[in-house]
Amino acid sequence: MIALGLRLVVSGGREAITRLVVLAVAVGLGVGLLLTAVAATNAVSAWNGRNAWLWTGTAWVPPGPATGVAPLWWHPSGDNFDGQTIDRFDVAATGTSSPVPPGMPRDPGPGQYYASPALAALLRGAPASQLADRYPGHLAGVIEDAALPSPNSLIIIVGRTLAQLAQTPNTVRVTSIATTVPGNAGSEQSEVNPHGLAYMPSNGGAPASASDLILSVVALAILAPVLIFIATATRLSAARREQRFAAMRLAGATRKQVSVLAATESTTAGILGVAVGFGIFFLLRTPVAGIPFIGTPFFPGDLSLSLLDVLVVAIGVPLAAAVAARLALHRVRISPLGVTRRATPKPPRAWRTVPLLAGLAELGFWAVRGHPASISGQVQAFVSSFALIIVGLFIAGPWLTMAAARVMARWTSRADTLIAARRLADDPRAAFRAVSGLVLALFISTVAVVAITTQTAKDPTRFGSVTESHVLTDQVSASKQVAQNIGPGSNGGTAGPGPAAPAAPLTAQLSGIPGVKGVLVVRADPGLTIPARFHDLGVSQYGPPTPIAAGVVSCAQLATVPVLGRCPAGATAAAFPADGFNGPLGYTSTDFAAFTWPAASLRGAPLDSLGVDAIDVQTDGGTPAVEQARTLLENTHAYPGITTPSTIADLVAQDNSQNSDYQQLANVVILISLPIAGCTLAAGIAAGLADRKRPFSLLRLTGARLATLRRVVALEGAVPLLAVAAVAIGTGFAASAEYASVAQHYPMVAPGAAYYLITAGGILVSLGIIAATFPLLARITGPEVARNE
């Protein structure tokens, strides 16, 4: 029978070959997307693992063995260039057994540095005064790709002497290089390494448990529409096949023989589709790797498949196709006359809404009780809840379709509407199957957009006018902030103000840079604060107004930086925020150009006798001016900064980096799920027309106009689409509200107009796909289709 089935597949005439090709292409497209989605999740795991070593020496990583290894003095810091973030590590090995960061043959010596390929290219292309002069010595080699999270990673490891790092704050001694992203990364305190640094890499990945949560949700959001599309593709021409196999039963074929023939045909199409799918995957691999799913692109090799992934797809898809074919022929196996008579199946019952309600109830349970403390518990809780909701939507869809059809039939007397309602009520499962992918895509999009909107509203966002964004702030002192500078000799403590020294030489050098308009040196004055009434921070999320730690500035210098405010009339010095805009004032919307700072008394002490808190430089905003000034500030040994000189734009990007990555991930999920849903809809509508061409042809022979049949097709597609889409969107908002309460600890925030425009556009495109089938309707409903075979 298998040989006969293969012969029928390839020798069944033009119709059989066409059916096989269509099935193989449709299944292949679905398999290609499925493999790409699986490989993308593997790529995220690989990316996350290569971020691990960047956490070396931080407060969230164990320090390593205490003996047997020569310590490596390790000074992590950040840097910026033209809006891009650079991870910089200054190191000094104390012996041949000192640990070596990955991707390098050895630790760099004094006067040497290793850089990532992307940064090495920047060093060659940018003027030395804007970038290369920040790093003493010469390029000894490039860091290998195996140690880089992404092809565009900007990382540099600079060799220093022990004496240099001994005098540099934020330096620790490490005896091992981190191999995993710490599970408690980002917490304010760590019991693992109390002598580590509070420094965090610019893009350090996520703990394995947290990445499991993210990948589980993303995989669920992407794989569900793909699997629905594959299932829809395997059912193409199902009704036509039923008729052929029913004819075989009437000619004497047994149920077992018909099942084997159907399984052979579907398995052949599935095997060909798998082969096509692997080809599509390898074609998509390189372009997909360049898509910044999480803010950065992947290496093409990261989009890999494990042996288990290959076996599951290669065996599972043909097997699933065979099972689907067997289940689709249940009426043929019972009686071949069941196909001809087209007996109406039992209508779906209201119990189908139970899984959907159960998923929402589970999320509600966690909202009342509180989510599990562990990340693994959250994975189980949230993934199971959303999986139950997604499955519930798919199960409840036919019942909702039937309910909408009955309402439509009750309130109309038009022939086309009554025909559409009768057909929908007759087989709501088939009607919903065509739109199920889009319905799930709308639910996924709603949850993703609302979650990101809520998270963005929850997290603080820096403000600042366009002119203020051109100011470069170099924070020198940490005396008024939380302890974060740990030197190699003290294992703790805070860095006080910079040394008291004349600032005229530095000011002159900065002022000599083309594009620099003014320089403001903020001098330290312990105990000086600015009253809360002098700013609008009292209306922000930080609660009641609080005084701001302040330093003292010269009114003559402040006049050269007018965007930062002015002094009172007649004053020679004024109180000014000690940390520039790298603190609370970075979150206020005040326009400081028209702001008058309170006068300050020097109490007889010369301004140059005070230490330095911060240095602010106003530029024209051009890259040459900003980067030359940044390079000069970083190389100034008289005032070693504790943070990288940053503009308002840099601080905004740093604060919003995680939310931006999540937004990018949500955009990718939406952009993937919606086209897949559109393919599912097109396949479902085309399959429905092919299966119903004989009934439609008979209707035309009895006098029905082609316009009437078009309205029937439109209603059969639009009614379940709009009815179940409304439920899916409403469910998405309900699930998002519960998730916001449980996991985000913040009231749900409604998305902006873009979400509604995208949703409306997706529905309109779907209706357009339905309308695009109208020309096909005219060709397949001719009188010759109604003949008896």
What pLDDT sits at residue 220?
60
Q: How many CB atoms sit inside 10 A of residue 54's CB? A: 26
**Going edge to edge, which strands form the sheet with 112-115?**
138-142, 112-115, 155-159, 84-93, 72-81, 172-174
108 falls in which pLDDT band (50, 70, 90)?
very high
First to last CA, the chain: 24
Q: How many helices (H) and strands (E) does the chain have?
A: 23, 12
- Nearest CA to 45 among 278, 208, 281? 208
Which positions ≥6 away from 118 have C-beta within 8 Å? 151, 152, 153, 154
Q: Which of 8-22, 95-109, 509-523, 687-701 has the lowest mean pLDDT?
A: 8-22
The pLDDT assigned to 541 comes to 44
* Residue 163 pLDDT level (bands cut at 50, 70, 90): confident
Averaged pLDDT score across all residues of the chain: 76
Query: Taking a C-beta distance cutoff of 8 angstroms, is the pair 51, 102 a contact?
Result: no
Contact 746, 458 (CB under 8 A): yes
In order of 232, 556, 686, the CA distances from 320 in angstroms are 12, 78, 21
Averaged over 498-516, what is the pLDDT? 80
d(C-alpha 766, C-alpha 759), whole Å: 11
Q: Is the pLDDT of residue 510 over 50?
A: yes
Residue 470: partners with Cβ closer than 8 Å, 6 or more residues away: 563, 618, 619, 620, 621, 626, 647
User: According to the model, what pLDDT value does residue 486 have?
Assistant: 29
Task: Give pLDDT, residue 485.
Answer: 29
Q: What is the pTM of this model?
A: 0.72
Listed in sequence order, the residues at least 6 apart from 753 whose beta carbon sits closer than 8 Å to its beta carbon are none
Alpha helices in 657-752 (DSSP H): 657-691, 693-701, 706-739
- Residue 660 is predicted with a pLDDT of 65
Alpha carbon distance 313, 141 (integer Å): 42
Q: Is the pLDDT at 139 greater than 90, yes or no?
A: yes
pLDDT per position as a tens digit, 16-65: 677 677 777 777 887 887 888 788 878 878 887 888 888 888 877 776 77
Please report, for residues 325, 328, 600, the alpha-carbon distance to residue 332 in angstroms, rounded to integers and kept in the order given. 11, 9, 94
Q: Nearest-CA neighbor of 452 among 665, 186, 259?
A: 665
| Residue for token pair 């057994």 | 97
- The average pLDDT across 121-130 equals 92
Confidence of residue 430 (pLDDT cuts 50, 70, 90): confident
How buried is 45 (Cβ within 10 angstroms: 0-12 exposed, 13-18 middle, 19+ buried)?
middle
pLDDT classification of 436: cutoffs 50, 70, 90: confident
Q: Is the alpha carbon torsion for 648, 649, 651, 656 positive or negative?
A: positive
| pLDDT tens-digit series, residues 292-318 | 776 788 888 888 888 988 998 888 888
Q: For residues 195, 201, 206 and 208, what is the CA-based torsion angle, rounded to 10 degrees?
A: -50
Residue 484: per-residue pLDDT: 29
Helix axes 2-11, 13-50, angle to 10 degrees: 100
| Residue 214 binned pLDDT confidence (cut-offs 50, 70, 90) | low
| 186-190, 289-293, 411-415, 538-542, range with the lowest pLDDT | 538-542
Beta bridge partners of 549: 529
Contact 288, 299 (CB under 8 A): no
Longest dimension (CA), the chain: 113
Read off the pLDDT of each residue in 578-586 and give the average, rounded to a whole number.
66
Other C-beta atoms lying within 10 Å of the C-beta of residue 264:
21
- What does the pLDDT look like over 222-275, one tens digit per residue? 666 666 776 666 665 555 566 666 666 666 666 676 667 666 777 777 788 889
Looking at residue 539, what is its pLDDT? 38
Give pLDDT tens digits for 318-361: 887 777 666 655 554 445 555 444 556 678 888 888 988 888 88
**pLDDT given at position 639:** 66
Q: What is the pLDDT of residues 381-400, one digit of tens each?
A: 777 788 888 888 888 888 88
pLDDT given at position 30: 78
Q: How many CB atoms lie within 10 A of CB 194?
A: 12
The mean per-residue pLDDT over the stretch 762-771 comes to 82
Nearest to 130 by CA among 643, 630, 644: 630
| 524 class by beta-carbon count within 10 Å (0-12 exposed, 13-18 middle, 19+ buried) | buried
Given CA atoms 647, 561, 637, 173 in this order, what sign does their dihedral have? negative
